[in-house]
Structure 1
Amino acid sequence: MDIPGLPARRAALNLIDAVLRRGETLDQAGGSALARVKGDADRALARAIAGEALRWRQDLDELIDSATRLPLAEDAKARAVLQIMLAQVLRLDTPPHAVIATALPLLMGGPRRLAHGVFSTLTKRGVTLPDVPTLPETATHRWGERASAIAAGLAEPPPLDLALRDPSATAEWAERLGGVSLMPGHVRLPRGAAVESLEGFRDGAWWVQDLAASLPARLLGAGQGRRALDLCAAPGGKTMQLAAAGWQVTAVDNAKRRLERLRENLTRTGLEADVVLADAFAWEPEEGFDAILIDAPCTATGTARRHPDVLHRIGERQIDDMAEVQSQMLARASGWLKPGGTLVYAVCSIERQEGEEQAARVSLTPVPIAADELPQGVAPAEEGWVRTDPGMLGDAGGLDGFFIARWTRD
């Protein structure tokens, strides 16, 4: 059936199914789900529909249930189609007639009349979504007293953050790009900017990196030619930060394709690093390092602003699995640190098991993080480590959720 816009809606449905039924990330699911969608605009639309349907899933389901005599099964295709229909109208400002024309064919041979009736009922009522998305109960329980603030930070996809190769030129680049800076070496632009067309991209003056993700490398300071290990380095934002700060960087990762992107980024920015394709649990350095940055594998729940799939596919099992990997990686990498060297551990996760509980077991000497090393609005904890989450810096556009801690070897 050749209906304009239908392949994008079918792809959005397949993306949601991959997340909820198979536990895949939106990025993992994209290859197959978007294969038959032609054009960048339609592929971006499919991802936007799926992302907003997942971001507001609890609230969309509440609306759907309010318009049905008997609740639809949680995994019913009609429910999923209604979710993407409502997400388009309520979040993407798609005209109702266009939504109906491109969504009902997804239920060919199924309950099209039911979906049409529910959708029409809700649009005639003039329903709206709340200002803040409702979190799944499991996430609310895990995130405790910060859950409401975190939810507020998830209401909109994030702005575009850039990390500058030369932090001394921050004011210049903020003016040239029409952005704002929240700390030296950072420029924030409204979301939707076409990255590769922005001034400075081809010259390698900056790279895309969330403000929170830029903090761990900053905490190692100036390299002055000393040796630094960036463990789990791809796609390379932290490697480039360290290289730009004067470190002699060894960048290790086990993902070949992501390391290719790291090499491309180094070439574009004119920065240098020794790039190593290796498993961190099998690789052995020939000598110790003055600094080690571990951006450890994690559940990535802190990236829910841009990856709302984590709200629905991460649970205790995934958290426990990642915590075990992190614990082993910290213990192994700590042995590669020279006396007097500095180790920074970071995860883009909101979960205590991946952050505070990991830090409490490290036997190195803590080096407390100071307030003047952080953007205004982010403060170190009493223990000297840092916890960010999407509910912080709300008026300025928020930031990802990270845990960061720092130690030295005596």
Structure 2
Amino acid sequence: MAKPPEPLGTASRRAAMRLLDAVLRRGEPLEQALTAATRGVHGPDRGLAHAIAAEALRRLPDLDALIDSVTDRALPDDAKARTALRIALVQALVLGTPPHAAISTVLPLVDGGPRKLVHGVFGTIMRSGVLLPELPALPAPVELRWDAAWGEAMVDAAARAIAAPPLLDVTLADAAMTDHWRETLGGTSLAPGHIRVAEHGPVPETPGFAEGAWWVQDIAASIPARLLGAGEGRHVLDLCAAPGGKTLQLAAAGWRVGAVDASPQRIKRLRENLFRARQKAEVVVADVRRWTPPEPADAILLDAPCSATGIFRRHPDVLHRVRPSIVAEMAVLQAELLARAADWVKPGGSLVYASCSLEPAEGERQVEALLAARPDYAIAPPDAALLPAGIPVAEQGWVRLLPGMLADHGGCDGFFIARLVRR
């Protein structure tokens, strides 16, 4: 006997289940898993699958607490029934999907007894009238790690920051056009050459994008290149450069840029961004661990590969994928890259080290270790005028961006940046 047709919309929920499985069981980044997980799902349905998975990851501890509150025995973390309930509940409680549609489109994802369980648990939660807490809970291991590193206030600020996706930040090719683009895009500016936009359509269709007047870049991510100032034709190496936001900044600021990255696919995106923004750079596909520049540079910017826990607002999957072992692995790589880059700076030149991580092992500890090993380097505290208002310089001379900073203006990513000068 033929099975009845599945309810309309089931395909996007099945794709969302594949996305959650890729992140939570296999440890894949959400964006990296998107293509395979949504194969055969197109247009709005693909976007819906991504939204469901992202919001489920944003609220995962709270969703699981609801599920566990009405089950006699806890469902395994990787059980299809638990994942189906997460998908149904996040639709009904966060995305505004009518409950009957939320449950009917996930029931085909489970078979046999679990189907009755999913239907019963969902119905019990909906009838109770319970809502998710206003302030999301962070995964317990992350909360413990960040509380030990930064304190309770930072953890509370991080929970507030993850409650909703961040606003759109863009960096301008010409900072002198800040007022023009602020008015054109209907946004606000937190620094020269920066616009923050609350409401917008598809980015490629937004005025100024196609002609390269600006590119998407969080305000925190724009700071490393800002600290190098105007290039005036001097030579800078942008290491681990793709997809190229900082390369574009440096080129627009008058630097002669060498952009180096090991990934051919990411280099392709960098070249596309250079072409669209009408900027120039010498692009090199190479692993910095095995590559050496032909001559020293006036400046080097190393935005090192890292755990990326600082971008959890826009990529909540990092909170569930990144474990201490990954942080430790990244710290070893960062130390190797930083030691090599330090040899390539001319005397009197600058080395900017940055990472979009909230883990001290990937930020503060890296610079402390380099300074201990290299007496020819010293920290050069940045001029406060180069930083967005509200971003402080630490007493050690570096810049550490934490959740809660710029909160009244929409917040910012977590970042560590230090500018070092070779004596």
TM-score (norm 2): 0.95
Give me the whole-angstrom Cα distance separating, in 1, the residues matched to 2:219 and 2:258: 23
Q: Deviations over 1:324-357 (max 9, x none)?
A: 0000000001000001101100000000100111
Secondary structure of 1:338's partner?
strand
Consecutive unaligned residues of structure 2, counting only runs of 5 or more, are: none
**Is this contact kept in 1: 2:93–2:132, CA < 8 A?**
yes
Q: What's the CA shift string for 1:239-268, capped at 9, x where partnerless?
A: 000000000000000111111111111111
CA distance in 2, matches of 1:191, 1:108: 41
Q: Distance in 2 between matches of 1:317 and 1:14?
A: 25
* 3-state SS of 1:346 partner: strand
CA distance in 2, matches of 1:393, 1:128: 28
What is the aligned partner in structure 2 of residue 189 from structure 1?
Answer: 197
Describe how 1:326-405 pairs up with structure 2 within 5 A.
326-362=334-370, 363=374, 364-405=377-418
Compute the displacement of 1:389 (Å).
2.5
Q: Look up the SS of the partner of 1:24 in the other structure.
A: coil
Amino acid at match of 1:318: I
- Describe how 1:9-408 pairs up with structure 2 within 5 A: 9-39=13-43, 41-144=44-147, 145=151, 146-190=154-198, 193-362=201-370, 363=374, 364-408=377-421
Q: Superposition RMSD on alpha carbons, in Å?
A: 1.2
Is the deviation greater in 102-111 or in 379-388? Answer: 102-111
Q: Which is further off, 178-187 or 108-117?
A: 108-117
Q: What is the number of residues matched between the two proteins?
A: 409
1:378, distance to aligned residue in structure 2 (A): 1.4
Between 1:139-148 and 1:287-296, the stretch displaced more is: 139-148
Q: In structure 1, what is the Cα distance between the partners aligned to 2:88 and 2:200?
A: 22
For the structure 1 residues 191 and 25, does the alpha-carbon distance in structure 2 shift closer, same or farther, using more than 3 Å as the test? Answer: farther
Structure 1 Cα separation of the partners of residues 338 and 189 of structure 2: 33
Task: For 1:400, give the aligned amino acid.
Answer: D
Note the C-alpha offset of 1:91: 1.3
Contact 1:370–1:384 under 8 Å retained in 2: no
1:313-334 alpha-carbon deviations (Å, 9 max, x no partner): 1111000000000000000010
Q: Matches of 1:19 and 1:121 in 2, distance apart?
A: 28
In structure 1, what is the Cα distance between the partners aligned to 2:6 and 2:69? 33
Amino acid corresponding to residue 167 of structure 1 in structure 2: A
Give the distance between the partners of 2:75 and 2:272, measured in 1 at CA.
48
For 2:211 and 2:76, how far apart are their aligned partners in 1?
53
CA-CA distance at 1:133 after TM superposition? 1.3
Query: Shift in Å at residue 192 of structure 1?
Result: 5.5
Moved segments of 4+, more than 3 Å: none
- Of 65-74 and 256-265, deviating more is 65-74
Query: What is the distance in 2 between the residues matched to 1:65 and 1:114?
Result: 12
Within 1, Cα distance between the matches of 2:98 and 2:140? 32
1:19 alignment partner, SS class:
helix
Counterpart amino acid of 1:58?
Answer: P
Q: Which runs of 5+ in 1 are unaligned?
A: none
Asked whether the equivalents of residues 161 and 313 of structure 2 are also in contact (C-alpha less than 8 Å), the reply is: yes
8 Å CA contact retained: 2:169, 2:219: yes
Distance apart, 1:171 and its partner CA: 0.9
Take 1:358 and 1:368, find their aligned partners in 2: how far apart are those partners?
17
Alignment partners' CA distance in 1, 2:140 and 2:183? 43
Task: Determine the C-alpha separation between the residues in 2 that align with 1:31 and 1:38.
Answer: 10
How far apart are residue 58 of structure 1 and its match? 0.5
Rate the CA distance shift 1:171–1:110 in 2: closer, same or farther, 3 A.
Answer: farther
Distance apart, 1:28 and its partner CA: 1.9
Aligned AA for 1:405? A
CA contact (8 A) 2:200 2:206 kept: no
Question: How far has the Cα of 1:102 moved from its partner?
Answer: 0.8
Counterpart position of 1:4:
8
Deviations 1:227-247 (A, max 9, x none): 000000000000000000000
> C-alpha separation between the residues in 2 aligned to 1:193 and 1:392?
27
The DSSP-based 3-state class of the residue aligned with 1:342 is strand
1:95 alignment partner AA: P
The 10-residue stretch of structure 1 (230-239 or 358-367) with the greater mean CA deviation from structure 2: 358-367
Q: Normalising to structure 1: TM-score of the pair?
A: 0.98
Give the letter aligned to residue 132 of structure 2: L
